[in-house]
Chains A and B, each alone.
Chain A
């Protein structure tokens, strides 16, 4: 269909066009307005969400104030609620996920973008992108029956044997632990890091690579010393994206983390993440204070996520300005 919209075009169109002409100007305005309404709906939803979380947690906010963030006791009987064990569990599992996932992910991205043959790279990247589509509950399902026994029976004894001087690896290993939570999160964030880093690396201008190779660098040296620094903001951005994802991940974590609201230095100990706590306790919180505490937990998680996103943007802004451009 051709975009013929002038008022004097075509026979049948003339009559319609005349009534339309006056409105042709407004047609744009109506379209602008309509799409704006829908875009505004997004803002409305987010604001209402924020407000809802803030308002419904008023009971515990008033009772505990900032102590909520530093308290380490979560006692629904004594109505004593402190979020520290959950914040600890969330942060520990997410950081562990990054420690495991970033080297693996960036390594794979470098391989796919710089070192591997082009067609192989495209196929493998496609497969890895599919990993991002696997639902969380399926990761959890598999983790219960494969990852947890594997960690408990093979990895933990090794870690305990070699690194037991570190408080990180002391104590009995139940399988269901912070370690399991961190591992499953690492697997879940891999596809994000890989696909975004790969895209960013591929976007590095050919001239940069060619110049490096022309000077006699090996492919690895080109990748590491030329392409990666150029793509660094994007790679860091992908890491933060992965972190934000890991922080909010619920199902897979709750199925393997052990669900114990205690702070324990050992990675073998069971722990609890904010999202897992909400999932487990929300529909059963028997007192209004308990419900308020859980919603405040959600609010804390929301704020942490906003913070991480903001830092990510800032970092990207800073490193882009510092000059990765040619």
Chain B
């Protein structure tokens, strides 16, 4: 398989990108590239359309980076080896952190684009764990659920008085010592 160096302008942004990105995420991607330089690759198709990494390419373009293209048919894994990095160093650990964190903060699903792709290409977002129900009010809008600042879609917070709290804990523990499992069991999740 061949390898070539091209200008980043030769890559094409995805006009139907499923990810709108976020303001905070954009800033983190830029910070990561400026401070730690390029990490994992992006993914492009046979015509240089960006499949994954549109936001990374945008930020890299602003910093004037060139692009090294590695052709493959997907039967092997590609590993970008940073010969200047040691994982057991501040830079190595920050790179590991930045990879996870930028992906987390910079994701904002574009529902219309997903729906359009589902119609055009017959893909099913729910098969990839992505579900939307725009008619349902969000948890935050209810006022009763305080969504955690870290795992925004995973932390359920319920306000209780001290007496209620103790009663709830005792009831849940009667079902299972793991409170998460207990609530899921009571609600019929495992049925």
A and B together in one complex? no
By a beta-carbon cutoff of 8 Å, the part of chain B in contact with chain A is: none
